[in-house]
Amino acid sequence: NAGVTQTPKFQVLKTGQSMTLQCAQDMNHNSMYWYRQDPGMGLRLIYYSASEGTTDKGEVPNGYNVSRLNKREFSLRLESAAPSQTSVYFCASSHRDRVPPLHFGNGTRLTVT
């Protein structure tokens, strides 16, 4: 099992450009999450999907959109990138019906210039 797979691993964008971060899990988990990690601020929840067909805002949703494409895939879109969105983005998944842990992907390092 690959676990949680994120693509790309690195990306550089110019201000105003758009992109989609991809995430897929093969653990048959119901719930999926997007976090961002900034120095000194821990991990902050951007959006999550409790189950296929549902998405909800987390702590820092502004400037992002998400799509739960199917049970396996959960994408994060930046419509108009800003330097404040420079960060490391982690996708995670968990089983809904028993005490989780969250299983994280390897992250996407995004730089917006």
Partner 1 sequence: GENVEQHPSTLSVQEGDSAVIKCTYSDSASNYFPWYKQELGKRPQLIIDIRSNVGEKKDQRIAVTLNKTAKHFSLHITETQPEDSAVYFCAASKYSAGTASKLTFGTGTRLQVTL
Residues at the interface with partner 1 (CB under 8 A): 31, 33, 35, 40-45, 48-51, 56, 58-59, 90, 94, 96-102, 104-107
Residue placing its CB nearer to partner 1 in the complex, 43 or 69: 43
Handedness of CA 1, 106, 42, 15 (dihedral sign): negative
CA distance 110 to 9: 8
Peptide bond preceding 8: is omega within 30 degrees of 0, i.e. cis? yes
CA distance 75 to 67: 5
Q: Any idea what DSSP says for residue 73?
A: B
CB of 32 to partner 1, least distance (A): 8
CB of 49 to partner 1, least distance (A): 7
CB of 15 to partner 1, least distance (A): 26
Residue placing its CB nearer to partner 1 in the complex, 6 or 85: 6
CB of 60 to partner 1, least distance (A): 12
What is the residue type of 94? S
Residue placing its CB nearer to partner 1 in the complex, 35 or 64: 35
CA distance 106 to 103: 10
Residue placing its CB nearer to partner 1 in the complex, 19 or 43: 43
